[in-house]
């Protein structure tokens, strides 16, 4: 429940931060929404922190006054993570954008939480390195750690869970806590780093992140291949993974998604289900991988292989893939997008996608599908008119049916977007009462006054 912001707290923030403490409606509204279809009143105040010490000051003050704090990076989350359920302080760390250390010899880097993935890769390329986690949006690395993001390269390089080595976290009481080291492994005590990775700002504010990085591959090649059906494309992806082909990216776009990116980016692609793939390695290994994949695709009726070996051509294709969300929104002006994020064992992927397509086609709701099908993760996105309540209800019903099916197949309600506000009921179904109660107890221990991004993951 929203309470008025204490005058003493606001005065202390204004004295410490000056113009970096902002109460204008425009700034508060900007920080009170993300890419989710959920609407909620904005926070009471926005504070721009520029150091770990400033984050600690804000959290210590908020703890004393029992005022909610919502960490904010770039606002690209899809599940309502930055919405101010109880009002309070939106703590913007985007100005904490320094790359603190690059240890090329150890393949590690330490950054402030506001550094974005594109900024980091621009710096790393001069050392012949790159950071592979690519959720599409140019998200902040602190936010990516908080939501346990992954994206298009996860099939080969893993998710943020595998690539975060250590953190500097500020607790809900304003205490600064370092976790992890730059060592590649550790068995020293509880794994606090993994506890905070994926905690969605409910346990503390991630201020600094130490990451694994990788040498730039000697050769990179991308290809698209088209299929008569989504099922044929998915069966191809399953076969690629089961045969152990070390593909770097394997993305599905259904005909609706291809049609949307064609209109948005003027690509002229065949408007049929498509796999967009990328291969990393030596020139010989890349050629071998591509040859194997082309043969597998042929077994499932794959046609019109198109290769992109220059950086410009590859960038054009992947930019189109990342534009799928915005492209689809433009196909129905004024619509909102209800996204799903199911992930299942790779062998069950075709089953869940086929059933989900049948259900949405029967419901008559506009939709598109994209997916990181190489690791069993896909997104069915429903395009709804926010003025028509029945469309929202239909989308939520279809989403619920899909999640229930994913759980029955030993899958998850969220492969990479997190729980936020939108998937709290799904988490309870997936994990069960006992596990969710244990999560609540962890939060109570680390955030006794319940000020850290309240109302997210599970209801207070």
Q: Rounded CA gap, 247 and 415, in Å?
A: 19
Q: Rounded CA gap, 327 and 15, in Å?
A: 44
Confidence at residue 1, expressed as pLDDT on a 0 to 100 scale: 54
Only one residue has tokens 């990085």, namely 213
Render the burial of 376-394: b for 16+ CB within 10 Å, e for the rest: bbbbbbbbbeeeeeebbeb
Q: Rounded CA gap, 233 and 204, in Å?
A: 41
Comparing C-alpha atoms, which of 228, 221, 219, 225 is closest to residue 237?
225
Confidence at residue 317, expressed as pLDDT on a 0 to 100 scale: 85
Q: Could you read off the pLDDT tens digit of each residue along the chain, which spans 460 residues?
A: 567 899 999 999 999 999 999 999 999 999 999 888 888 999 999 999 999 999 999 999 999 999 999 999 999 998 999 999 999 999 999 999 999 999 999 999 999 999 999 999 999 999 999 999 999 889 999 999 999 999 999 999 999 999 999 999 999 999 999 999 999 999 999 999 999 999 999 999 999 999 999 999 999 999 999 999 999 999 999 999 999 999 999 999 999 999 999 999 888 899 999 999 999 999 999 999 999 999 999 999 999 888 887 888 888 888 888 889 999 999 999 999 999 999 999 999 999 999 999 999 999 999 999 999 999 999 999 999 999 999 999 999 999 999 999 999 999 999 999 999 989 999 999 999 999 999 999 999 999 999 999 999 988 6
Confidence at residue 69, expressed as pLDDT on a 0 to 100 scale: 98
Q: What's the gap between Cα 131 and its chain centre? A: 15
Q: What's the gap between Cα 418 and its chain centre? A: 7
Q: What's the whole-model pTM score? A: 0.93
């Amino acid at each position: 429940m929203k309470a008025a912001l204490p005058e003493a707290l606001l005065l202390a923030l204004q004295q410490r931060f000056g113009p970096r403490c902002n109460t204008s409606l425009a700034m508060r509204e900007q920080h009170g929404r993300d890419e989710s279809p959920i609407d909620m009143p904005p926070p009471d105040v926005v504070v721009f922190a520029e150091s770990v010490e400033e984050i600690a000051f804000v959290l210590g003050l908020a703890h004393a006054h029992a005022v909610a704090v919502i960490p904010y990076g770039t606002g690209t989350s899809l599940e309502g993570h930055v919405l101010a359920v109880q009002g309070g302080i939106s703590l913007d760390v985007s100005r904490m954008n320094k790359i603190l250390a690059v240890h090329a010899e150890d393949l590690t880097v330490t950054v402030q939480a506001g550094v974005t993935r594109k900024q980091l890769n621009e710096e790393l390329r001069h050392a012949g390195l790159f950071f592979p986690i690519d959720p599409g949006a140019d998200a902040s690395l602190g936010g990516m750690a908080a939501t346990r993001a992954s994206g298009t390269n996860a099939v080969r390089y893993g998710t943020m869970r595998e690539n975060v080595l250590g953190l500097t976290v500020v607790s809900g009481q304003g205490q600064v806590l370092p976790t992890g080291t730059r060592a590649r492994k550790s068995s020293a005590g509880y794994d606090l780093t993994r506890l905070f990775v994926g905690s969605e700002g409910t346990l503390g504010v991630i201020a600094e992140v130490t990451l694994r990085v990788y040498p730039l591959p000697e050769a990179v090649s991308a290809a698209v291949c088209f299929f008569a059906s989504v099922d044929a494309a998915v069966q191809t992806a399953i076969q690629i993974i089961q045969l152990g082909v070390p593909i770097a990216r394997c993305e599905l776009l259904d005909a609706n998604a291809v049609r949307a990116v064609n209109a948005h980016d003027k690509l002229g692609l065949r408007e049929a289900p498509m796999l967009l793939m990328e291969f990393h390695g030596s020139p010989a290994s890349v050629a071998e991988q591509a040859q194997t994949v082309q043969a597998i695709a042929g077994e499932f009726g794959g046609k019109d292989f198109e290769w992109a070996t220059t950086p410009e051509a590859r960038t054009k294709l992947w930019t189109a893939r990342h534009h799928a969300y915005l492209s689809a929104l433009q196909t129905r002006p004024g619509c909102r997008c209800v996204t799903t994020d199911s992930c299942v064992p790779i062998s069950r992927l075709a089953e869940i996608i086929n059933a989900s397509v049948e259900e949405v086609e029967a419901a008559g709701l506009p939709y598109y599908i994209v997916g990181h099908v190489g690791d069993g993760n896909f997104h069915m996105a429903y395009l709804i008119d926010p003025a028509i309540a029945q469309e929202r209800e239909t989308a939520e019903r279809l989403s619920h049916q899909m999640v229930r099916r994913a759980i029955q197949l030993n899958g998850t309600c969220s492969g990479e977007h997190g729980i936020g506000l939108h998937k709290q009921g799904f988490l309870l179904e997936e994990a069960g009462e006992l596990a969710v109660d244990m999560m609540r107890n962890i939060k109570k221990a680390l955030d006794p006054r319940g000020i850290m991004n309240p109302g997210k993951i599970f209801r207070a």
